[in-house]
Chains A and B, each alone.
Chain A
Amino acid sequence: MINGESYKVVVAEAAKNALLASGVGEIFERVFIVGPIMDGERCAGAVGFSVRENKFYVFKAKATLVAMGGAVHVFKPRSSGEGMGRAWYPPWNSGSSAYFTIRAGAEMTCQEVRFIPVRFKDAYGPVGAWFLLFKSRATNSEGGDYMVERRPELGNWGPYGRVKPVPANLRNYLGMLDVMDGKGPIYMRTEEALGKIADTYKDDPKAYKKKMKELESEAWEDFLDMTISQAILWASTNLQPEEKGSEIAAAEPYFIGSHSGASGAWVSGPADLQTKDTAPDYFWGYPNMSTVKGLFCAGDASGASSHKFSSGSHAEGRIAAKSAIKFIVENNSLPAVDAASIESLKAEILRPMENYEQHKNATTDPEINPNYLKPRMFMFRLQKIMDEYAGGITSQFKTNGPLLTKALELLAFLREDSQKLAAADLHELMRCWENTHRMWQAEAHVRTMLFREETRWPGYYFRADKPKLDEEKWHVFANCRFDPKADAWEMRTRPMKHVFPQPQEHEMLGG
């Protein structure tokens, strides 16, 4: 069984018991949250709908904690026909956190910092065990190891090219340079790595056989515990890891506040970790509260605090919840929500069903209609824009100012057409809103890549018109905010300040 599948149930049980057994809480499942409701500048809760019954939900709250994950399928995935939807990040995380915070008017950070993991190609099996446990190399079609042959390239990326371990995006970049030079495929040399380990037992045939069996089991279990589809792909292509290597590739871009991504809301830090210097910029009363009063974020929803992974996200959820309770105690009034605005949100959220009902008889095929578009086609349009103009897989993660400007032009048309989304049932209604959420994540991403006039994360994206790191001007956060009243985006920088003394050059070299 998948390890995460097993342990998530344990974590969920503790959460459910805490809420239900104590009598303080209630849980609504199968309710899709569309967006925020506001009382002026304060978040007043959320609206959404049941994906199983014809019910529109209004949740009025004194504080709201957003933890709805990051976003995948904003960019065209590698799996676009057979296996469509297969990605490294779970397909149900569709940018709901980003949409919620953006539409509430919260300041967002690191929206340009997408995450691209390198994984076994097409089934996204983890590479960590191979690189770290089995000490495997990855080589190009000519047998060259990009981590060795491309090493001088690291010198072009300031102090970050000299740290150990090499930053995730730079490791990606060295491999991408080989691919762009036409030296693919890149193979994880599983046969070489297993052979080397087994070699140490070559004088003892019995021990050798035992060791090989053990290694083979470990190799397969690594996938079966985490990414069963990779084991299926190996089995269906007759791949024996001890006999030949297996392709690895950079995945399509994802948006997550955890792992080696950083996108999310700009939130207050804790009071006690601030210095005199950082406090004015990083602290505004309640840890993990966004710039919107009463709106808290955790996990993939909060930005600039990477490498949280699963347990760190759990910890951050606890920190944010405690802070939110403090906020409630100190602001103990139910925000006022205007009934007319709720009715208008209800009409807007259900519009895709209205569009479908009104126009469904115009054609004989419900998928094709001159008056509406279905969420699936809408998603393809979004993914094409992002892939071709904003540095997706087919443009080898490269873009530039004019391409990004063109992307914004096309995204504006897409936003206009989002009014014509149509849903035949509740499931499609959810798909309509998931893809609208993705569209807003896309726009925040494009605008911030355009704003940051440098290339800082080659291997995630490369701005060909600004191909270098610019420490003097851009060693700062690039933040954005959507002003709901003006229907306009504002871009700004925030200073990068140190809570801990800055490491000296020799410390960075020492890793």
Chain B
Amino acid sequence: MPNFETVTVETDLLILGGGMAACGAAVEAAYWAKQQGLKVTLVDKAAVDRSGAVAMGLSAINQYVGLKDGVNTVKDYVDYVRSDLMGITREDLVANIAPTWIPPYTCSRSGASPFGKTSKATLCTRAAGSS
């Protein structure tokens, strides 16, 4: 059997995967890691450009909630998801994700600082620049 060299990598945050979730994680982590002086390492079994379900065609951006336009409320959306799953769903998780959806780089729940008060306006400017 061939000899396998052991490569050890030390990091702060390890992101595993290269699909939509991992890419979202990379964008957000990079911002806060820079501020906090931390290192982020992403590992993908293939290549990030074509990883995940989206790259092979499962590109659905379904169920735009339309909060801004007053089309639906987060509760409407949560009710829909719970019913579709026959009454079993984590409403807190669904509601947490819902307002952040489209476009991915606008003001969102994710914009609030985990380390105290950061103005939303600042974060939006940052987010717009990174898209």
A residues contacting B by CB (< 8 A) are: 2-5, 7-9, 11-19, 22-33, 45-46, 48-49, 51, 54-69, 88-90, 92-93, 96-97, 100, 110, 113, 128, 157-160, 163, 165, 167-169, 225-228, 259-260, 262, 267, 269-270, 273-274, 278, 282-283, 287, 298-326, 328-329, 334, 342, 346, 350, 353-354, 357, 430, 456-457, 469, 471, 475-477, 496-500, 503, 507-508
Contacts and interface: CB of A to CB of B under 8 A. Distances in A.
A302 B16 contact: no
Contact of B75 (A9, A97, A477, A500): A500
Given A270-B109, A309-B62, A56 B4 contact: yes
Contacts of B20: 8, 11, 299, 310-311, 313-314, 317
B67 interface: no
A259 B8 CA distance: 36
Contacts of B59: 2-4, 7-8, 226, 310
B78 A4 contact: no
16 contacts: A11-B23, A12-B18, A15-B24, A29-B47, A54-B3, A56-B6, A65-B22, A67-B21, A68-B22, A312-B97, A312-B100, A314-B23, A317-B21, A319-B110, A498-B91, A500-B74
A15 B102 CA distance: 17
Nearest to B100: A315
Contacts of B115: 326, 329
B71 interface: no
B7 A307 contact: no
Chain B contact residues, majority secondary structure: mixed
Which 3 A-B pairs rank lowest in CB-CB distance, beginning with the nearest?
A299-B21, A317-B24, A4-B59
B24 A262 contact: no
B81 to A, nearest CB: 5
B34 A508 contact: no
Interface of B: 1-34, 36, 38-63, 74-75, 78-81, 83-98, 100-102, 104, 108-110, 114-115, 130-131
Most B CB within 10 A of own CB, among A3, A58, A169, A500: A500
A17 B40 CA distance: 13
Contacts of B47: 29-30
A59 B43 contact: yes
B84 A4 contact: no
A346 B55 contact: no
A64 B13 CA distance: 6
